[in-house]
Amino acid sequence: MLGRTVQVNGRAATVVGIMPGGYAYPVGTEAWVPLSLSTEQRDDRVQPALSLVARLQPGVSGNQAEAELETFAARLQKQFPKTNSGRNILSLPMRQEEYEYTAPIFLMLQAAAIFVLTGLR
């Protein structure tokens, strides 16, 4: 499949990678596609957020990436003060971001285990 062109929502897309079986991030995702915005979407500066997943280049630290994002956010705030004032760009390591989804499930399982174990005395 690598390198092949497939149709996704009526648009041609080239397959550039395949995740291992069972990999689903974020939960329920079946495919990742490049961001493709219409002219209207690109010009709409009112929408509140855009989430993305990226991988750091080898040798780039999280702190370096964070500094670059802060510089980019400041530039956007200066260029678009009406829509970007007060907005920020946040980067999280993948494990920390995934934890926000999985922590509630594990906390419930731990609570259930405590109830079961304390009830067995």
Nearest by Cα to 17 from 72, 55, 56: 55
pLDDT at 20: 86
Alpha-carbon gap, residue 107 to 117, rounded angstroms = 15
pLDDT tens per residue, range 28-58: 777 887 777 788 887 777 776 677 777 888 9
Q: Which two tokens stand for residue 28?
A: 């329920």
CA angle at residue 17 from 68 to 92, to 5 degrees? 30
pLDDT in tens, 9-32: 888 889 988 888 887 777 777 788
* Residue extents of the structural domains in the chain: 54-90
* Amino acid 30: pLDDT: 79
> pLDDT, tens digit, for every residue of 76-120?
889 988 888 888 787 877 766 666 666 677 777 777 777 777 776
